[in-house]
Amino acid sequence: MSLRSTPPDRRTCWRHARLATFAPGAPWGWIDDGAFVTEGAQLAWVGADADLPPDPRVDAEVNLEGALVTPGLIDAHTHLVYGGDRAGEFEQRLQGASYEEIARTGGGIRATVAATRAASDDELFASAAKRARLLMAEGVTTIEVKSGYGLAEAHEARCLAAARRLARELPLEVRTTSLAAHALPPEFTGRPDAYIDAACTWLAGQKARGLVDAVDAFCDTIGFTPAQTERIFTEARRLGLPVKLHAEQLSDQDGAALAARFGALSCDHLEHLSARGSAAMKASGTVAVLLPGAYYFLRETKLPPVPALRDAGVPMAIATDHNPGSSPALSLVLMLNMACTLFRLTPEEAWRGVTVHAARALGLADRGMLAAGLRADFAVWDAEHPCELAYRFGHSPCRRRVFGGRETDAAMPARSACRNESS
């Protein structure tokens, strides 16, 4: 049976868990002595153990002995598929070069583009699978993966296809995003508008091949202008693809307001977001995806306007932004701590950011909470309360991981990845 096939409608009753369901109501959606029933890939019932209805159809019962259970974690922003790494650039930055200077002199994203184009399909897949397994070992069950290191039609398609292959070969949901408008490739130096014209023509083919779920762009001084971003978004809309945006990361381009006009699923980064941008996001129901790994690694000092987002009621998600240049992070659990320490989110806000709000940032209504009718994607932790996972760092006590009702070894995937794929 393949990893992706839905298990038979086997009913399992999981009892005596501390449940952080994130369902509306109590803080954390907390249930002290909780139980839930999985039926195949879905949750059939969630509630207090004392309220568990008698169910003769249950095939198996598991006593969780008070362990914490949360929804499977969702990493709503990654650039997981690429060749090479940028450890050398890290050293340059330690000697004083800025991220923007390195980008302007042909390093940065362009260096990764060269390494990505040089990598074979199998190499791209194997390196991305190794990274995905490390995320999965910490209870991650859904990830988003962007293209954006191919920057030519065939190479962008190869990267999206590698992301789709992750979902076929690993017990993991993968949403793909086309990010051709990430940087200007060398063939188009000095001709950004011509590049955007070309990138617009690739989207229909990506969609026809089933390679893409959403469209993103990098709207910034070292990326693309709002007018160029708008052209990509217009083509996405014509094709019925939702959009998201790398917005106001290094400067305020009013990108969030532009994305909001297109009903964007999310605007991501947002360190330089204005009050106008956050109001526009609220009005369009756009999620703010905050990326503390990139803030930390680039030693940014301008914080995203968390109090304004909170006051405006804009849902906040937290993601790794895993990429080789600005956030080589492979721990979504660590991002919980960073979101609290650096961005001053509450532990509950940070957790909602990797569950309910992350699901919304991907347009997925079937996950992110533990509730009847949603997917049976969950993690069992060696902890009594989710706050502990936001408080500790360098420590990810995932004990069990269940994806679509099927238990997968939470720890082994990462270890076997290191054995099998690092040679």
Which residues bind to ligand DI6, rule: CB under 6 A?
Answer: 108-109, 112, 182, 218, 223, 246, 249, 294, 321, 323-326
Task: Give whichever of 252 and 377 is closer to ligand DI6, judged by the CB atom.
Answer: 252
Q: Please report how many Cα atoms fall inside a 13 Å half-sphere around the Cα of residue 274, on the Cβ side.
A: 11
Residue 325 binding: pick among ligand DI6, Fe ion, none (C-beta 5-8 Å cut-off by kind): ligand DI6
CA distance 385 to 71: 13
Nearest residue to ligand DI6, scored by beta-carbon proximity: 325
Is 321 a binding residue for Fe ion by CB under 5 A? The answer is: yes
In angstroms, what is the minimal distance from the CB of 207 to ligand DI6? 22
Residue 370 binding: pick among ligand DI6, Fe ion, none (C-beta 5-8 Å cut-off by kind): none
| 20 DSSP β-pair partners | 30
In angstroms, what is the minimal distance from the CB of 320 to Fe ion? 9
Residue 25 burial (C-beta neighbours within 10 Å; 0-12, 13-18, 19+): exposed
Residue 286 binding: pick among ligand DI6, Fe ion, none (C-beta 5-8 Å cut-off by kind): none
Cα–chain center distance at 283: 23
The answer for residues whose C-beta is within 8 angstroms of residue 158's C-beta and 6 or more apart is 121, 124, 150
| Closest to 400 measured CA to CA, from 136, 219, 216 | 136
Task: Give whichever of 181 and 354 is closer to ligand DI6, judged by the CB atom.
Answer: 181
In angstroms, what is the minimal distance from the CB of 342 to ligand DI6? 15
CA distance 48 to 61: 15
In angstroms, what is the minimal distance from the CB of 246 to Fe ion? 6
Task: Give whichever of 66 and 106 is closer to ligand DI6, judged by the CB atom.
Answer: 106
Token digits of residue 399: 């004990």
Helix (H) or strand (E) run with residue 417 in it? helix 412-421
Place of tokens 């961005």: 343
CA distance 328 to 101: 19
Residue type (1 letter), 366: D
In angstroms, what is the minimal distance from the CB of 274 to Fe ion? 20
In angstroms, what is the minimal distance from the CB of 108 to ligand DI6? 5
Going residue by residue from 280 to 319, which x/- string records binding to Fe ion, judged by CB under 5 A?
----------------------------------------
Task: Give whichever of 71 and 223 is closer to ligand DI6, judged by the CB atom.
Answer: 223
For Fe ion, the binding residues (CB under 5 A) are: 321
